Structure 1
Amino acid sequence: MGVVEKTENVRPKGLGIRHVQTLLLFFAMFLAFTMRVNMSIAIVAMTTKTSDNVEIFDWSHSVQSIILSSFFWGYVILQIPGGVLVQRVGGKWLITIAVAVNALVSLFLPIYASLGGWQVVCACRILQGLTQAFVYPTMHHLISQWVPLEEKGLLATLIYAGAQLGIAFQLIVGGIIASALDWRAIFYLNAALGAIWTTFYLVFGAASPEQSKFISKEELLYIQRSLGRVGQQKRYPTPWLKIMKCLPFWAVIVAHCGQNWGFFTLMTEIPSYMNRVLGFEIKSNGVLSALPYLAMYALSFPMGAMTDLILKKQWLSVSHTRKLFNSIGLWGPAVALIGLSYTPADNMVLAVAMLTISVGINAGQYTGYLLVHIDLAPNFSASLMSITNFLANIISIIAPLVCGFIINDETDPAEWRKVFFVASAVYFFSNLFFVLYSTSEKQPWNDPEETDPEVEMKAPNATSQTADTKY
């Protein structure tokens, strides 16, 4: 997949433009997830009367569940097309569109909610989901363009960690704002931050090092040599049929779907659970709802370091290491959710501890199934991610709806227990399938032969990124 020079690749001293891109993409993930989760905290304030001067809505829990899931209706539609589109138009414009449109919708959502009710709110959330479908394919692509292999572990982790900090920030600040001002200010703050980021990214962002106006020749050559972009590159069409016949890839799909069921059940329902069952006010609700995501952010780095150490010392194979951490990330929350189910409603400390453990220990999945996309087929990892993300986010739609179906009385701990048991069971069985059938061995179709029928129509002189992994 291109000629890689054998000369020593010397890293330029100090910080470079690749670090500026890392920071910009970190904030893109941060803002994308603040605007993805803002409704989870805002909807509590939108349906709870705290002042005569603030408009509230008489929405049932079922309607609230529909609103919370509507983001994902749009999100799943463009997953696979988004992965294809980013290869054609590059990452800069798609990530700009994603953040800018989400910010613009956040600006007008309070007005539309007052004028059109929950149906129009759903339409706004669907539009935000449609544009956020570009986020993960774009991030994969931009990381592949900008991040040298020698720095991929650290810089890629920093970028994706923006998601967890974005969730925590929104829950904390959203609760404070809703308490001090009103729920509309949550959306206005998101809009303002999105506008600021868009301005900076249009000036300093670039689709690749070759297109940057600010990068030095020394840093450009360093990145090109590291990523094997010195020399002609080839791009093969994605072998869709072979991918869909691959059992280890189906194990990744199942794990991703199980992860999304549990994670998005908790992400969308934690604020309501803390308010209706545990009795936390809006301000405290936001702060305490953020603790699990801060824990997940904090645990992601030591788990990544432990993965590196295990593989470096060759204590376990790559496949067994992935299964170990995926089991920590999925079976750990399954056990914690069972504990949460039987925690007395008046024992707030224990309940918050169980929630924090159930989400925090989920960080294991970052070094579990998520890396198996790259292990199986580094040349097609973006396509694999687009498929699993598409299917897994259908689950993200279903999970809140199931919660709405199960829960008729939001103050009844017994009904919430059913929700937690379902999530626990999904966590357990999806990871069991992953443990039984996954592997990290590179698949033969990762390097298609010239005579393979699926690559006969490859485009001549096309360029692409040579994918690789440090594991």
Structure 2
Amino acid sequence: MKLTFCGHNKNSTAMESSQKSVTPADTKAKEEAATGTSSGLGVRHLQIGLLFCGLSVAYALRVNLSVAVVAMTDSNSANPDFPEYDWSEKTKSLLLSSFFWGYVITQVPAGQLARKFGGKVMILNGLLICSILNILTPLCAKLGGWQLVCALRVIEGLCQGVVFPSTHTILSKWAPPSERATLGTCAYSGNQFGTIVMLATSGIIASSSLGWPSIFYISGGIGCVWAVIFFFWGASSPNDYKSISVEEKKLIEMSQANEVSTVQEQPAKNLRTPWLSLFTSAPFLVLIVAHSTHNWGFWTLLTEIPSYMKNILGKDIKSNAMLSSLPYCAMFVMSFVFSAISAYLNSHKCITTVTSRKLFNSIGTWIPMISLVCLGYVNSDQTNLAVALLTITVGINAATYLGFQMNHIDLSPNFAGILMGITNGVANIMSIIAPLIVGFIVTDEHDSDQWRIIFFIAGGFYLVGNALFVIFGSASVQEWNDPPANPRLSKRNSTHVESQH
């Protein structure tokens, strides 16, 4: 392994320098980095646990209104002792979509800010502000009606726009390449966990003596508690965590240094973003397509399937908490199943990283593609089959956590947050457009032929997006990950080994 040290004489080699400072911790870390084995549970696993909880909070705050709005507009469906608002279906749709107006806007800036100030600062402040605003939701509804709640949701979207780019930035610094898929999947499985808990408990809370306002008070309060815990124990990188063991820190740094040919001569936060190189990079452009087509199919499914089940199959899935959360439960469980399979393949060196990414992405998109098409041919009296196909479609989709969703860090550890911000921003625009297309095509919600067209379109997006990813995708660190150093900044750097992430 060759390491480049900043500030040394040009004639001295990196190997000679490394030999002068060899310690038992270095030897152990080198062995673990070379073999891909870890040193057991460590601080990096604590950080993943904190990210899991943070993403659970984020999704709970995101979906709580979709459940609470039912009780807010129909007191008979919950505790009638609390305020009821006469909001039309159009108004409710406006409220539910307003979150994404702000969410899309902050994606790309969040990636830049997370790289400059650290992922911890961004995700901590974003979720803390969002949690406080959630607590204020009942008061805003009382004082300003739906208009003020709508404005509140837009701001919440702006705050949560930093979550995914910041999470990717933190993962790029904490996760050794051999553990990246597993740790990333564990962190992002919080999305489903937060959704499951909120769907399962919101109806009970709204019907209890606490009433629907407590849905916001409890979820917002838990978010504030998480923020306090993350403030004390969260860290943007191993360098920011003082209590990390020398062995674990060396393991992370050396395994990440093995991923690239040279060590960056200046801190990653001082690197200039190579925008032109980004948007002329075939692997990154394909990643944008893969993320966008995935979101089209996934959000078409989650937003429109309840309407399909009700109007075509005569089964109101929204009124059944178990049916509503079943697909998310399946996705939560399958994320760990796929993660275990990936860890096994990686530890036994069965497949390369790029093959792993393409394999799991194919599983997570092409199997749901088949089940979606099959769903379009289910008869109205086959409700159990329809629910099973729906659960398979969402559950198997968890494999994409080990596919395109980790590919940002593969391509550019230094700019992973920015890459996620770009692809997630574009993908969420697709998430907004997809339901509008459904409304344009499905003019009669009871016409199964029109719904079949929707499933074919979603399946087509899955097919094309993953095909391009399989053909043109890459898992190698791109040349533009290490732009030319700024001479003025290079002179200021002292002799040290810089982590590539």
TM-score scaled by structure 2? 0.79
User: 1:74 maps to what in 2?
Assistant: 102
User: How far off its partner does 1:2 sit?
Assistant: 5.4
Q: Which runs of 5+ in 2 are unaligned?
A: 6-13, 33-37
Output the CA distance in 2 between the equivalents of 1:87 and 1:438.
Answer: 24
User: How far off its partner does 1:217 sit?
Assistant: 5.8
User: 1:131 maps to what in 2?
Assistant: 159
Output the CA distance in 2 between the equivalents of 1:19 and 1:308.
Answer: 15
Mean CA deviation greater in 105-114 or 1-10: 1-10
User: 1:34 maps to what in 2?
Assistant: 60
User: 2:290 maps to what in 1?
Assistant: 255
User: How far off its partner does 1:201 sit?
Assistant: 2.0
- Check conservation: 1:176, 1:283, Cα contact below 8 A: no
Which of residues 139, 147, 157 in structure 2 aligns to 1:111?
A: 139
Output the CA distance in 2 between the equivalents of 1:80 and 1:319.
Answer: 25
- Label 1:425 to 1:340 Cα distance change in 2 as closer, same or farther (>3 A): same
Mean CA deviation greater in 40-49 or 418-427: 40-49
Output the CA distance in 1 between the equivalents of 2:438 and 2:488.
Answer: 47
What secondary structure does 2:378 align onto?
coil
User: 2:412 maps to what in 1?
Assistant: 377
User: How far off its partner does 1:274 sit?
Assistant: 5.3
Q: Deviations over 1:411-451 (max 9, x none)?
A: 7666654543432232223223333432334433334456x
User: 1:431 maps to what in 2?
Assistant: 466
- Check conservation: 1:66, 1:401, Cα contact below 8 A: no
User: 1:101 maps to what in 2?
Assistant: 129
User: 1:187 maps to what in 2?
Assistant: 216
User: 1:398 maps to what in 2?
Assistant: 433
Q: Deviations over 1:114-153 (max 9, x none)?
A: 5444443332221111111111121122223334556544
Output the CA distance in 1 between the equivalents of 2:115 and 2:100.
Answer: 23
Output the CA distance in 1 between the equivalents of 2:69 and 2:340.
Answer: 38
Output the CA distance in 1 between the equivalents of 2:106 and 2:166.
Answer: 12
Output the CA distance in 2 between the equivalents of 1:112 and 1:397.
Answer: 26
- Label 1:459 to 1:78 Cα distance change in 2 as closer, same or farther (>3 A): farther
- Label 1:457 to 1:289 Cα distance change in 2 as closer, same or farther (>3 A): farther
Output the CA distance in 2 between the equivalents of 1:393 and 1:457.
Answer: 39
User: 1:8 maps to what in 2?
Assistant: 27
Output the CA distance in 2 between the equivalents of 1:213 and 1:439.
Answer: 35
What secondary structure does 1:9 align onto?
helix
TM-score scaled by structure 1? 0.84
Q: How does 1:234-273 map to 2 (within 5 A)?
A: 234-235=267-268, 236-270=271-305
Output the CA distance in 2 between the equivalents of 1:391 and 1:262.
Answer: 14
- Check conservation: 1:292, 1:357, Cα contact below 8 A: yes
Q: Deviations over 1:362-406 (max 9, x none)?
A: 122122222332333344333322221121111122223334455
- Label 1:234 to 1:24 Cα distance change in 2 as closer, same or farther (>3 A): closer
Output the CA distance in 1 between the equivalents of 2:264 and 2:498.
Answer: 12
Residue 336 of structure 1 pairs with residue 371 of structure 2: yes
- Check conservation: 2:51, 2:167, Cα contact below 8 A: yes
Output the CA distance in 2 between the equivalents of 1:415 and 1:156.
Answer: 38
User: 1:87 maps to what in 2?
Assistant: 115
Larger Rg: 2
Output the CA distance in 1 between the equivalents of 2:442 and 2:339.
Answer: 37
Output the CA distance in 2 between the equivalents of 1:459 and 1:274.
Answer: 61
- Label 1:30 to 1:459 Cα distance change in 2 as closer, same or farther (>3 A): farther
Output the CA distance in 2 between the equivalents of 1:311 and 1:209.
Answer: 24
User: 2:341 maps to what in 1?
Assistant: 306
Aligned-CA RMSD value: 3.6
Output the CA distance in 1 between the equivalents of 2:401 and 2:191.
Answer: 12
- Check conservation: 2:185, 2:401, Cα contact below 8 A: no
- Check conservation: 2:363, 2:396, Cα contact below 8 A: yes
Q: How does 1:153-232 map to 2 (within 5 A)?
A: 153-180=181-208, 182-212=211-241, 214-215=243-244, 223-224=252-253, 227=256
- Check conservation: 1:45, 1:183, Cα contact below 8 A: yes
Q: Deviations over 1:291-323 (max 9, x none)?
A: 112211222233234345556666655444433
What secondary structure does 2:415 align onto?
helix
What secondary structure does 1:342 align onto?
coil
Mean CA deviation greater in 14-23 or 96-105: 14-23
User: 1:140 maps to what in 2?
Assistant: 168
When the two structures are aligned, how many residues end up with a matched partner? 462
- Check conservation: 1:41, 1:171, Cα contact below 8 A: yes
Which of residues 31, 50, 73 in structure 1 aligns to 2:77?
A: 50
What secondary structure does 1:440 align onto?
coil
Q: How does 1:385-424 map to 2 (within 5 A)?
A: 385-406=420-441, 416-424=451-459
| Counterpart code for 1:104 | I
User: How far off its partner does 1:247 sit?
Assistant: 2.1
| Counterpart code for 2:277 | K
- Check conservation: 2:294, 2:462, Cα contact below 8 A: yes
Output the CA distance in 2 between the equivalents of 1:405 and 1:115.
Answer: 36
User: How far off its partner does 1:237 sit?
Assistant: 2.0
User: How far off its partner does 1:253 sit?
Assistant: 0.7
User: How far off its partner does 1:75 sit?
Assistant: 1.1
Which of residues 315, 319, 324 in structure 2 aligns to 1:289?
A: 324
Output the CA distance in 2 between the equivalents of 1:464 and 1:131.
Answer: 34
User: How far off its partner does 1:257 sit?
Assistant: 0.3
Residue 349 of structure 1 pairs with residue 384 of structure 2: yes
Output the CA distance in 2 between the equivalents of 1:26 and 1:122.
Answer: 28
Q: Deviations over 1:138-169 (max 9, x none)?
A: 11222233345565444333212111211222
